[in-house]
Amino acid sequence: MIRHLIAAIATILALWASYYMYTLDKQVHKLDEIHRIIKASEIKVQLKKPAVVKEETQPTAEENAAAAEEALKSKTKELDKKLEALKNKAGNLSAFKVSKLYKQNCSSCHGVNGRGIIGPNLVGKSKEYILEQLKEFKSGKRRNYVMYGLLQKMDEEKLDQLATEISTFKEKWDKYNNQ
């Protein structure tokens, strides 16, 4: 009798257990479903995101276009300037036949015509004044590293040549302008 009872209880337990398993399974399934829904909504969100990003990038694209235009403008300006400089150079070169000594050592800063670029304008200054400055730069009395360094390799004769040449720039320049 007891055996039957135990068997009955065991059967009930087994049934209950399998029902419980079934409900668990259902819950798991539900959870799966929820997970799936969340994932799906994530995909939706992800799909939405690019749309939002697109809206944000639109002004940036315009900005980019504006920046490109600006860059083009400044490039054009730059080219215009370069062209102008080239024209000047061509004009100046035809008017000024400077010595190799001046051209190679001085023109990069004082200009092919002596009008000055980085270095000051030398046109209109007397030979005596220029020679004195060159000597003082060379000795270090007048302090300027660039001029000092540059003149170390030059002897008095060269300084004299340069001073003489530079002092004629004004005359050359006037001639050129009166042509």
Q: What is the distance between the alpha carbons of residues 19 and 21, in angstroms, rounded to a whole number?
A: 5
Q: How far is the CB of 168 from ligand HEC (least distance, A)?
A: 13
By beta-carbon proximity to ligand HEC, the closer residue of 47 and 118 is 118
Show the tokens assigned to 1: 């009798």
Q: How far is the CB of 152 from ligand HEC (least distance, A)?
A: 11
Residues at the contact surface with ligand HEC, assessed by CB under 6 A: 105-106, 108-110, 118-120, 122, 130, 133-134, 144, 146-147, 150, 162
Q: How far is the CB of 176 from ligand HEC (least distance, A)?
A: 20
Show the tokens assigned to 78: 């730059």
By beta-carbon proximity to ligand HEC, the closer residue of 112 and 147 is 147
Q: How far is the CB of 163 from ligand HEC (least distance, A)?
A: 7
By beta-carbon proximity to ligand HEC, the closer residue of 76 and 164 is 164
By beta-carbon proximity to ligand HEC, the closer residue of 64 and 164 is 164
User: Which DSSP string corresponds to 97-166?
Assistant: ---HHHHHHTHHHH-TTSS-SSSPP-TT--HHHHHHHHHHHHHTSS--HHHHHHHTT--HHHHHHHHHHH
Using DSSP's 3-state secondary structure scheme, residue 96 falls into coil
- Number of CB atoms found within 10 A of residue 145's CB: 9
